[in-house]
Structure 1
Amino acid sequence: MTRKYNHYCPVAFSLEVIGGKWSFTIIRDLLTKPLRFSDLLQYSSNVTPKGLTLTLRQLEEAGIVEREEQPGHREVWYRLTQAGEDLRPVVEAMKEWGLRHAMRPPLQGEVVRPDLAMGVITDSLNKRGRKLPQPATWLMCFTHGGTYVLSFDGAQWSTRKGEEADPDVRVTVSPEAWATFLAVKRIERDQYVQSMQLVGTPERVEEFWQTFVVREVPKHT
């Protein structure tokens, strides 16, 4: 149920439309591409089917989300309308604010999605202007959630889901350990390096650690 503020203000109006518990996480995911109900249910983790149905219905009525049904197919796809797309800078600003002021390690039982974690670190590296002396390709092998390639082309960082035949560094880590490593203060990251297994030449492995401001680089094995 949407909340009514009884306050004549555009901020209050916006919250009445998109201030529901799951609204922004649904909008966040639909900003990447159209998704099915089952996709949204999986991505939102703790939302119930009833809760997701109610939230999608409210977003449809508000003109934020629209349904797409193809004749002869049972699947229903959800996509953002132009009004929904206009929320992209709002979501990006919330992501930046969360990184600066609300970042924390994951709680016990909290779902950590590798795709979101990789997107956040890629944005952070680019915004901080973190650069390497040479191009690099790192293969992030998550114990669950798939593999991702984090690359630096000499100017910008990028990430994609998939494999890389000959990465400079191969990293094996759980999504929870990776999120914890990134969330703690830089001066505290040294104590979490043992949660990751790295394979690569000593120089490229050291390059990886130094990118994340690990002061004492673990010995390469």
Structure 2
Amino acid sequence: MPTTPRSAYAHFCMLARTLERLGDRWALLVVRDLLTGPKRFTDLMDRLGGITPRTLTQRLRDLESDGLVLVDRKPGRREVWYRLTPAGDDLAPALEELSLWGLRHLAAPPAPGEATHPEHVLGGLRLVLDRARLDVGPASWVFRTLDHDDHYTISGRDGRWTLDEVAAPHPDVELLGTRRDLADYFATSPAARTAGRPGVRLQGSDKEIGRFLGAIAAFP
């Protein structure tokens, strides 16, 4: 996959060579958002708050040139989809470790003006639960945003956890709020979550809500 780097460290080091291709601003975040599945340009713009269309176009071209992104263009279809190649998928463990490092050392509530998206918040929660192999029995939790109509499901079984961009039928617990409410909720302490947060509504039986709150106490 070697290509001509856009900037060179001139170090014979595989980390340096990796950074030559992924060190540009937004590049790793584009990969982050494609790790959850193929996306359209508009899907990426929605998740990458603050990026310009011109910059996103350039990053996608760079990643395609480096063999990390595949552009899916089909005759007769107006929409163009972007997906990771196997080499791009191979970045998943590295990005997971960077996310866990951030949760350990940089966790704080979202700053004013900081873009929030439920996929990023819930992706971190899923990662923490999965790494802990937390087994609370079969679990299904749905998260809905009231301002953007996002819907996600975190499911757990035998200590393994998944995140899907779909609302599962008959979840054990459903959490509703705006995107910002959701980010603020998971940025607070477990005690504050148990006490309840303005703007966030939990639906489910007392038993299932208690099980949910106990499980997410591991985050962050």
TM-score scaled to structure 2, two decimals?
0.80
How far residue 165 of structure 1 moved from its aligned partner, in angstroms, is 4.2
Q: Secondary structure at the match of 2:164?
A: strand
Relative to structure 1, the CA distance from residue 201 to residue 121 in structure 2 (aligned partners, 3 Å threshold; closer, same or farther) is: same
Relative to structure 1, the CA distance from residue 27 to residue 170 in structure 2 (aligned partners, 3 Å threshold; closer, same or farther) is: closer
Q: Are 1:135 and 2:133 an aligned pair?
A: no
Partners of 2:134 and 2:159 within 8 A in 1: no
Q: Secondary structure at the match of 1:193?
A: coil
How far residue 51 of structure 1 moved from its aligned partner, in angstroms, is 0.8
Partners of 2:125 and 2:216 within 8 A in 1: no
Q: Are 1:101 and 2:109 an aligned pair?
A: no
Partners of 1:3 and 1:19 within 8 A in 2: no
The 1-side partners of 2:113 and 2:98 are apart by 23
**Residue 114 of structure 1: aligned partner:** 118
Q: 1:86 aligns with which of 82, 85, 90?
A: 90
The 1-side partners of 2:65 and 2:112 are apart by 36
Deviations 1:89-138 (A, max 9, x none): 22222222222222222122222111222222122112223332x43333
Q: Secondary structure at the match of 1:7?
A: coil
**Residue 20 of structure 1: aligned partner:** 24
Q: More deviation in 141-150 or 19-28?
A: 141-150
Q: Are 1:29 and 2:26 an aligned pair?
A: no
How far residue 2 of structure 1 moved from its aligned partner, in angstroms, is 4.0
Work out the percentage of aligned pairs sharing the same amino acid. Answer: 33
Question: Aligned ranges for residues 37-76 of structure 1 at < 5 Å?
Answer: 37-76=41-80
Q: Greater RCO between the two (CA within 8 Å, min separation 6)?
A: 2
The 1-side partners of 2:16 and 2:146 are apart by 42
Relative to structure 1, the CA distance from residue 139 to residue 101 in structure 2 (aligned partners, 3 Å threshold; closer, same or farther) is: same
Q: Which has the larger radius of gyration?
A: 1
**Residue 200 of structure 2: aligned partner:** 196
How far residue 21 of structure 1 moved from its aligned partner, in angstroms, is 0.5
Q: 2:174 aligns with which of 161, 166, 170?
A: 170
Size of the aligned set, in residue pairs, is 213
Q: Secondary structure at the match of 1:78?
A: strand
Q: Secondary structure at the match of 1:105?
A: coil
Q: Secondary structure at the match of 2:212?
A: helix
Quote the RMSD (CA, aligned, Å). Answer: 2.8
The 1-side partners of 2:39 and 2:175 are apart by 30
The 1-side partners of 2:147 and 2:138 are apart by 27
Q: More deviation in 3-12 or 48-57?
A: 3-12
How far residue 19 of structure 1 moved from its aligned partner, in angstroms, is 0.5
TM-score scaled to structure 1, two decimals?
0.80
Amino acid of the structure 2 residue aligned with 1:174 = T
